[in-house]
Amino acid sequence: MKSLCLSGVQPTNFLHVGNYIGALKQWVEIQHRFPCYFCIVDLHAITVAQDPKQLRENVLNTAATYLAVGIDPKRSHVFIQSEVHEHAELGWILGTITRIAELERMTQFKDKAKRRADNVGVGLFTYPALMAADILLYDTTVVPVGEDQMQHVELTRTIARRFNTTFGDTFVIPQALIQKQGARIMGLDDPSVKMSKSATSTMNYIALTDDDDTIRKKIMRAVTDSGKDIVYDPDKKPAVTNLLTIFHHMTGRTIKDLENEFEGKGYGDLKKALADAVIAHVGPIRDKIAEYRKDPKELMRVLDAGRDAAQELATTKMKIVRERVGLGRA
C-alpha cells in the first residue's frame, strides 16, 4: 500500500503555537517522506457562524501560514476543501452510515455545543463525517494531528471499516500521527485547558502573527505552578511542563537538557529564555506570512495547482464510491 499523508486546519482565525507544534511542524517533516495533501477546511469552518469576507481572508492567511512554516509546494499539495466538491459529496454519503450515538460521543462537538447552546447547527454535529470524507477520499494512510483530533480519526477508521464491510473494500484505514511531546499544548493563562483559537482571553495563546513584544508579554505573564523547581511533570507541574514542551519544540533541545540548564534557576529565568526562543522561531514565520500575503499571485498559483492535484485523486475515488453505493446511472 502506498503511503499518503493528509491533514487540515480550519481557517477560523490566525494559527497559534499549539496548531504549529501539534500539527504543522509534523507536516513539514513528513513531506520529505510521503506525498502530502494539506487542505484548508473552509466547509468545516462554517459549522460555526463566519463573516464571509473575513472567512476568505482567513483562507488566504492559512495558506500563507502553511507556506511560511515550510510546507514546500513543490512537494506538497495545498488546497481549499470547498474547491474540490467531492469532499461535500462523500461527507454526505458517509453521514448516512454514521450513527447518531457515535457523533454524540465526540468531545469537540460536546464542547462547542455547550458554548453555543442556543445555536447548534446540524453541520456542527455531522462535522466528523465530513472530516472522514477529507481523509478517505485520498486513500490517506497517515493523518498528522494534535491529540484533540484523535477521536475524529478513530471515528473515521470505524466509518471506513463499516463502508468496506457493507459495500466492498473501498477505503484505506488511516492512522493518526501525534507528537510524543506537544500533542496538546495548553493555554498560557490556564494550563488545564488547551491552547485554542477560540479562547476568550488573548493571553491564552501565542499567534504565529504576534509581534515580538506581544510574545514576550504573554510568556512573562504565563501562569506558573507552586514551588520553584523547573521540571517536566505533567501531573504536578502542568504549567512548567507546558513551557518546557514549547521550549523543546522551538529550539530542538531535549527536555532533559533544558531541565539541567534551569536547575536552581527561577521561573523568571525560564520565561525570559523561552520568550527569546519563541521570538527567534516565530518571528521569521510571521514575516514570511506577511510576505506571502503581499504577493497573492504566488498563493493563487499554489492553491490552483493543489486543487488540480487533489481533484484528480478525488474524481477517481468518487467514481468508485458512486458505483459501489449504486448512485446515478451506470
Contact 167, 159 (CB under 8 A): no
Residue 35 cell numbers, joined: 506525498
- Taking the CB of residue 179, how many other CB atoms lie within 10 A of it? 19
Q: Is 194 in the site for ligand TYM (CB under 6 A)?
A: yes
Find the shortest distance in angstroms from Cβ 229 to ligand TYM.
24
Say how far residue 322 (Cα) sits from the centre of its chain.
29
Residue among 25, 194, 237, 317 flagged as catalytic: 194
**Choices 178-186, 227-235, 268-276, 288-296; region in contact with ligand TYM by CB under 6 A:** 178-186
Is residue 249 part of the contact set for ligand TYM (CB under 6 A)?
no
Cell digits of residue 249: 519544540
Pick the closer one to ligand TYM by CB: 126 or 149.
Answer: 149
Task: Figure out which of the listed residues 185, 239, 240, 250 binds ligand TYM, where binding follows CB under 6 A.
Answer: 185
Binding mask 43-72 for ligand TYM (x = CB under 6 A): -x----------------------------
CA 135, 58, 56, 73 dihedral sign is: negative
- Count Cα neighbours of 29 within 13 Å in the Cβ-side half-sphere: 11
> Residue 184 interacts with ligand TYM (CB under 6 A)?
yes
198 marked ligand binding residue: yes
DSSP labels, 267-296: HHHHHHHHHHHHHHHHHHHHHHHHHHHH-H
Identify the residue among 30, 40, 41, 93 touching ligand TYM (CB under 6 A).
Answer: 41
How far is the C-alpha of 49 from the C-alpha of 45, rounded, in Å? 8
Name the residue nearer to ligand TYM (CB basis): 178 or 279.
178
Candidate list 4, 5, 7, 30; residue touching ligand TYM; CB under 6 A: 7
Asked if 217 is an active-site residue, the reply is no
Residue 136 or 299 with smaller CB distance to ligand TYM: 136
Rounded least distance, CB 142 to ligand TYM, Å: 10
Query: What DSSP assignment string belongs to 67-106?
Result: HHHT--TTTEEEEEGGGSTHHHHHHHHHHTTS-HHHHHT-
| Least gap, CB of 143 to ligand TYM (angstroms) | 5
41 vs 207, beta carbon nearer ligand TYM: 41
Closest CB 141 distance from ligand TYM, rounded Å: 12
Is the backbone of residue 232 left (phi > 0), alpha (psi -120 to 50) or beta? Answer: beta
Contact 1, 141 (CB under 8 A): yes
CA distances from 21 to 15, 220, 277, 327 (A): 11, 20, 14, 41
Closest among 118, 122, 92 to 109, alpha carbons compared? 122
Whether residue 294 lies in the annotated active site: no
Closest by Cα among 38, 321, 1 to 168: 321
When binding is defined by CB under 6 A, the residue of 13, 19, 61, 242 that contacts ligand TYM is 19
Which residues in the 137-156 window bind ligand TYM by CB under 6 A?
Answer: 143, 145-146, 148-149, 152
Residues 183, 147 contacting (CB under 8 angstroms):
yes
Active site residue 194: yes
Task: Examine residue 321 and tell whether it contacts ligand TYM (CB under 6 A).
Answer: no
Instruction: Pick the closer one to ligand TYM by CB: 73 or 191.
Output: 191
Binding residues for L-tryptophan: 134
Binding residues for ATP, by number, are 10-12, 18-19, 146-148, 185, 194-198
Task: Using CB under 6 A, list all residues that contact ligand TYM.
Answer: 6-10, 18-19, 21-23, 41, 44, 131, 134-135, 143, 145-146, 148-149, 152, 183-185, 194-195
